[in-house]
Structure 1
């Protein structure tokens, strides 16, 4: 008590310079080999004592640092053009739906797996079949899961996977899945985009990109009001939940791979 904060003059100079530039300093910390401390807190008040480093590595702050440091994205990229494809695309999807609904999960899973191996975009007929597959909830769910675990035959008891618990994704495959979903959105008329927007959002959640995820869940709900999976995922990220996979440096998504 009564002692000036460490590096007081330097901190004040930085605050003044940033304020003059129109970019006020929002927070600052001192980190030593044994502890950390808030540098903007009034040390006389005794409200911000030094904290152990374990309070960082074991807490929400560590998750935020992994999220901000590894996966921060300045522009979420949530702008999608209105559908400009064939006028009969909705009819094509509806025509494909009975075959999808009457089939086992395996054909849809195989079609999705094949799409994720392609370097370029798929043909219109395959796009229609995939769009139909994503309209079937149980098939949609396992197609989501197969991005992370290609061998999973169904989505039963996949709660931990969907939450991002106990997984180590192939992030290149995740990136391909997001890109394929974006291409499918271009091929999908309004009212058929919600599963794809939710998929992109869920994979963003696994990456630790919560703001990107939330934007996509809201777009999914705008496309299909009441879309339950998007509602549930939106509630999850709205609570500030960060996927466990994104909290671990060994499994978290890195921007530069």
Structure 2
């Protein structure tokens, strides 16, 4: 891939939008710089008043994982308007972040304030300083390059699930499959489930209805569910390390992408009472890929389907504490150099 040259605020915003895949709202986005080259991109929801110090420490900790980075560029997205004679929006947050980065030997090179309609320098004159309309991003060179390569920017990061049939017939078939599994040897059931899942992951087309029913049934059993999730990245390391994205090996990301499509396909054929484990597995994939806010949304949908689903509730608490997947913290294992989200 050719190198991009970022020259203007419009270029910066276009780069952020295409890297994240959506237009941020009420967010802070930081980009690390290594010898004038872009490093990691991190998006985080803006903090609540009074939480600026801990928030800044957390962000600085994430950015410091890019060991070669010496400086940071940020863009603060907010609907709060700048006012003459008053501090810039979220000034306490930026001040705390400046100090937290300095402790780690990093500096803030530049910052942008992104409102609903315009973008300006964060440290500029709120009323008299130059500003650009956000529509200028559409004509930026960076945007043109990304669009040419097939990239798009969604207006928000809200997920849109495919339509689900929720057929009673499918639900009954899944229940029947689960009953037959309970009469078999545990090891045999696990081996069959893993063999079927491996065949699906290695295939180039969607499975038939009988295979999908078996997959949905397999995912209803926590032990099998965990193993099938751990099989997704194609890494031969302990299950707990794979699930928590703390392996030495790099995931096979094309395999992970296909697994998500298979699970979404299974979701469209699952009943509500069987969909929680499917949605939870999809949430893990999004978390592995650095999409914390989307992972949260999938976990919330899983809990709507089954309010008592333990893995979804535990995982949502983990993500809510700002824990990110280990793979995303290393540029050699991170997913397609996409931006990282910590919500």
TM-score (normalizing by structure 2): 0.54
Bigger mean CA deviation after superposition, 27-36 or 121-130 = 27-36
The 1-side partners of 2:96 and 2:290 are apart by 34
Q: In 1, are the aligned partners of 2:206 and 2:262 still within 8 Å (CA)?
A: yes
Do the aligned residues in 1 keep the contact of 2:235 with 2:250 (CA within 8 Å)?
A: no
1:143 correspondence with 2:224:
no
Matched with 2:196 is 111
Contact 2:280 2:302 in 1 (8 A): yes
8 Å CA contact retained: 2:235, 2:251: no
Cα distance in structure 1, aligned partners of 2:195 and 2:257: 19
Equivalent of residue 189 in structure 1, options 271, 285, 300: 271
Higher strand share: 2
The structure richer in helix per residue is 1
Q: CA deviation at 1:119?
A: 2.0
CA distance in 2, matches of 1:245, 1:229: 21
SS at match of 2:195: helix
String of CA shifts for 1:42-86, please: whole Å, max 9, x gaps: 9xx9994695695459xxxxxxxxxxxxxx984546333553264
What whole-Å deviation, never above 9, does each CA across 1:183-230 have from its counterpart, x for those lacking one?
000110111111111111001111111011100011111111110111
- Asked if 1:171 is matched to 2:248, the reply is no
Inter-partner Cα distance in structure 1 for 2:334 and 2:227:
22
Specify the SS of the correspondent of 1:165: coil
TM-superposed deviation, 1:116: 1.2
**2:176 partner SS:** helix
Distance 1:112 1:120 in 2: 13
Q: 1:242 to 1:100 in 2, by over 3 A?
A: same
Aligned to 2:324: 242
Contact 1:221/1:231 (CA < 8 Å) preserved in 2? yes
For the 8 Å contact 1:140–1:195, the answer to whether it is kept is yes
Corresponding residue number in structure 1 for 2:313: 231
The 5-angstrom pairing of residues 1-257 of structure 1 reads: 35-36=70-71, 48=98, 55=105, 74=154, 75-76=156-157, 78-81=159-162, 83-84=164-165, 86-101=167-182, 102-103=184-185, 104=187, 105-149=190-234, 158-166=239-247, 167-254=249-336
Structure 2 unaligned spans of 5+: 1-7, 10-24, 36-68, 75-87, 108-151, 339-343
- Partners of 1:127 and 1:206 in 2: CA distance: 24
CA distance in 1, matches of 2:217, 2:97: 58
Q: CA deviation at 1:91?
A: 1.0
Q: Given the superposition, is the C-alpha separation of residues 50 and 163 from structure 1 closer, same or farther in structure 2, using an over 3 Å criterion?
A: closer
Cα distance change of structure 1 residues 100 and 36 upon mapping to structure 2, 3 Å threshold: same
Match of 1:17 in 2: none
Change beyond 3 A, Cα 1:212–1:51: closer
| Cα deviation, residue 31, structure 1 | 6.5
Say whether the 8 Å CA contact 2:302–2:312 is kept in structure 1: yes
**Closer, same or farther: CA 165–95 of 1 in aligned 2, 3 Å:** same
Residue 235 of structure 1 deviates from its aligned partner by 0.8
Q: Sort the Cα spacing of 1:247 and 1:108 in 2 relative to 1 into closer, same or farther, 3 A.
A: same
Q: Cα distance, 1:127 vs. partner?
A: 0.9
